[in-house]
Amino acid sequence: MATELPTTDIRISAEAIRHCKGGTPIVCLTAYTYPIARLLDRHVDLLLVGDSVAMVLHGHKTTLGASLEMMIAHGQAVMRGSARACVVVDLPAGTYEATAAQAVTSARRVVDETGCQAVKLEGGLDMISQIEAIVAAGIPVMGHIGLQPQSVEKDGGYKIKGRTEEAVAALLRDALAVENAGAFSVVIEGTVERVAADISRRLAIPTIGIGASGECDGQILVIDDMVGLTVDRVPKFVKEYADLRSVISHAAETYAAEVRGRTFPGPGHVFSATNSRDDT
């Protein structure tokens, strides 16, 4: 039976997320920085420090630009900025695929250096030994099946999954493999809606959808996509809840005009020699 998550500043654990299967949908967003984590923490259940940070904040064309050091630095920032949300950090490409021992070493470093509650890795049947080994080491694992951004070069682009019967069968095998290996939840990305819905019904662990199905046990979006900060192509599955592109552009335009017109800084933004109370 699904349980309710705490509403206070008690940190939500990966195990608590596992027990949300079939209950109130799990609210997830990505976060990469301290101020964003501060703003999101009281509204969400799970914050993912995704390797999408390589694209969103560092300008890489794919997530393959992420490194373990990059993920740890952003994971530390998000942990400092959050008190309640379960924080999950992505293991970037090249840090876990080779062997189970490599996966455990990378996961242990991420958890020890950030204090996060879990790690996430991409893959299904091919990642069973890695998931099992990380879980056996006492580190919770979130899986990721369907469209896998770390495989974009191998797949020849971002291609929606589950459009053939063979692909549907493979997705179900991957989902069950991730569950049986001990993952506490699994992201389903870029997958035909009815397929993602069927997988969600079949699994005993929560599914987190992104471009998948409303029947998933939770949903996640990239924060910059969600608030309208993405400056390149916005994926079809994204709903923009704000338009910060326009807000920031307008603010910069106004600031530039005031600086050039010498109206900023004004009297209220400079310090006097006689009043010490304004030195803040």
In this prediction, residue 275 carries a pLDDT of 65
Q: What is the pLDDT of residue 272?
A: 87
pLDDT at position 273 is 85
Q: What are phi and psi of 133, to 5 degrees?
A: -70, -40
* Per-residue confidence (pLDDT) for residue 3, from 0 to 100: 72
Q: State both tokens at 60.
A: 């890489």
Q: Each residue's pLDDT tens digit in the chain (280 positions)?
A: 677 786 677 999 999 999 999 999 999 999 999 999 999 999 999 999 999 999 999 999 999 999 999 999 999 999 999 999 999 999 999 999 999 999 999 999 999 999 999 999 999 999 999 999 999 999 999 999 999 999 998 888 899 999 999 999 999 999 999 999 999 999 999 999 999 999 999 999 999 999 999 999 999 999 999 999 998 888 899 999 999 999 999 999 999 999 999 999 999 999 988 766 655 5
- 199 and 171 in contact (C-beta within 8 Å)? yes
**pLDDT reported for residue 4:** 74
Tell me, yes or no, if 189 is annotated catalytic: yes
Which residue reads 């490409």 in tokens?
93
Distance in angstroms (rounded) separating the CA atoms of residues 261 and 263? 6
Q: So what's the pLDDT on residue 1?
A: 64
In degrees rounded to 5, what are phi and psi of residue 240?
-85, 115
Q: Which amino acid is at 28?
A: C
Q: Which residues pair with 161 in a beta bridge?
A: 191
**Residue 8 to residues 1, 52, 83, 99, 209, Cα–Cα distance (Å):** 22, 29, 9, 39, 25
Check 15, 132, 189, 193 and give the catalytic one. Answer: 189
What is the SS3 string spanning the chain? CCCCCCCCCCCCCHHHHHCCCCCCCEEEEECCCHHHHHHHCCCCCEEEECCCHHHHCCCCCCHHHCCHHHHHHHHHHHHHHCCCCEEEEECCCCCCCCCHHHHHHHHHHHHHHHCCCEEECCECHHHHHHHHHHHHCCCCEEEEEECCHHHHHHHCCCCCECCCHHHHHHHHHHHHHHHHHCCCEEEEECECHHHHHHHHHHCCCCEEEECCCCCCCEEEECHHHHCCCCCCCCCCCCCCCCCHHHHHHHHHHHHHHHHHCCCCCCHHHCCCCCCHHHCC
